[in-house]
Amino acid sequence: MKTILLLASKEIREALRNRWVLAATALLAVLALTLAFLGSAPTGTVGAGALDVVVISLASLTIFIVPLIALLISHDAIVGEIERGTMTLLLSYPVGRRQVLVGKFLGHIAILAFATCVGYGLAALALLAAGRADGGGWNAFAVMTASSVLLGAVFVAIGYLVSARVRSRETAGGIAIGIWLVFVVIYDMALLGALVADQGRFVAGGVLDALLLLNPTDAYRLLNLTGSADIAAASGMAGVVEHAALGPGALIAALAAWIAGPMALAALVFSRREL
């Protein structure tokens, strides 16, 4: 365990030198503060509290930004070290490949958690200071912040799988962008088109639930936008809540599976890779 923590601290130090932590924190803080004040403007018309609307706005922001940040910091975690020759040096010490993978993972999650908690926390503090935060939405805000870190962990794990499989950083970067486009943009557009064309004949009930769980961003969206009646109504998800078969436990389990699966595959591929 000590070795894993040392490897995690190494990743954090490298991120600080490359200013990844500062850049990610600043980006999330600026966007969160902007949405916190501009996004809470419609509360009078939808009947939701300021924090509820901020949760909706930040959840939508997270789906686009956090996976991208996670993939950018993880896509070259393995292949980059191999290209620089530092992986061979690292493995010459009494450390296993799985320890390297887990240590890097914990370091990158720490970076994402810090950036997310500070960035979104500043937005919450700003709303409190301005007297625009009611007491009813804090639980949803906390769930949104924690699940945002969980979503980031999913895409860090996917980035590791890509990094363990490819032979160059350039290839890893291109695949990472493609993965982001598929999960964040293309998948939902294709699913919406299929639902419109199907008109409820085949894609309904359990099939639809399974299709939603196949995309971690959809599991995250459902977890945060159907958590309460006010948020569901303000986000236009009230109809989903009425027919929802996926509870918070199932959605969190799906996100956890999206972490465990790619990490297990990355460990398998990395263990068989010749340096």
Amino acid identity, position 95: V
Q: What is the pLDDT, as a whole number, of residue 21?
A: 80
Which residues, at least 6 apart from 136, have a Cβ–Cβ distance to it below 8 Å? 49, 51, 52, 230
Q: What is the pLDDT, as a whole number, of residue 131?
A: 72
Q: Is the pLDDT of residue 249 over 50?
A: yes
Report CA 97 to chain centroid distance, whole Å: 25
Q: Which residue has the higher pLDDT, 241 or 255?
A: 255
From 163-167, 196-200, 231-235, the region with the lowest mean pLDDT: 231-235
Rounded to the nearest integer, the mean pLDDT of the chain is 85
Q: Which residue has the higher pLDDT, 275 or 213?
A: 213
Q: How far apart are CA 172 and CA 178, in angstroms?
A: 10
Could you tell me the pLDDT band of residue 40, with boundaries at 50, 70 and 90?
low
Q: What is the pLDDT, as a whole number, of residue 238?
A: 47
Can you give the residue range of the structural domain that contains 264?
2-272
Is the Cβ–Cβ distance between 154 and 216 less than 8 Å?
Answer: yes
Q: Is the pLDDT of residue 123 over 50?
A: yes
Cα dihedral sign for 123, 124, 128, 129? negative
Residue 100's Cβ-side half-sphere holds a number of Cα atoms within 13 Å equal to: 24
Task: Please choose, from the candidates 258, 227, 74, 60, the residue with its C-alpha nearest in 3D space to the C-alpha of residue 164.
Answer: 74
Q: How far apart are CA 9 and CA 111, in angstroms?
A: 10
Which pLDDT tens digit goes with each residue over 130-183? 776 665 678 888 999 999 999 999 999 999 999 999 999 999 999 999 999 999
What is the arithmetic mean of pLDDT over 29-42? 74
Q: What is the pLDDT, as a whole number, of residue 240?
A: 53
Instruction: Provide the number of structural domains found in the chain.
Output: 1
What is the arithmetic mean of pLDDT over 111-126? 90
Burial class (CB in 10 A: 0-12, 13-18, 19+), 98: middle
Q: What is the pLDDT, as a whole number, of residue 49?
A: 64
Could you tell me the pLDDT band of residue 68, with boundaries at 50, 70 and 90?
very high
What is the arithmetic mean of pLDDT over 194-199? 78
Burial class (CB in 10 A: 0-12, 13-18, 19+), 128: exposed
Q: What is the pLDDT, as a whole number, of residue 103?
A: 95
Which pLDDT tens digit goes with each residue over 210-228? 888 999 999 999 898 876 6
Q: How far apart are CA 63 and CA 152, in angstroms?
A: 9
Q: Which residue has the higher pLDDT, 231 or 28?
A: 28
Residues above pLDDT 90, as percent of the chain = 45
Q: What is the pLDDT, as a whole number, of residue 109?
A: 95
Q: What is the pLDDT, as a whole number, of residue 263?
A: 97
φ, ψ dihedrals at 245, nearest 5°: -110, -5
φ, ψ dihedrals at 84, nearest 5°: -80, -10
Could you tell me the pLDDT band of residue 111, with boundaries at 50, 70 and 90?
very high
Q: What is the pLDDT, as a whole number, of residue 23?
A: 85
Q: Which residue has the higher pLDDT, 194 or 199?
A: 194
Could you tell me the pLDDT band of residue 124, with boundaries at 50, 70 and 90?
confident
Q: What is the pLDDT, as a whole number, of residue 173?
A: 94
Q: How far apart are the first and last CA of the chain?
A: 25
Is the Cβ–Cβ distance between 114 and 21 less than 8 Å?
Answer: yes
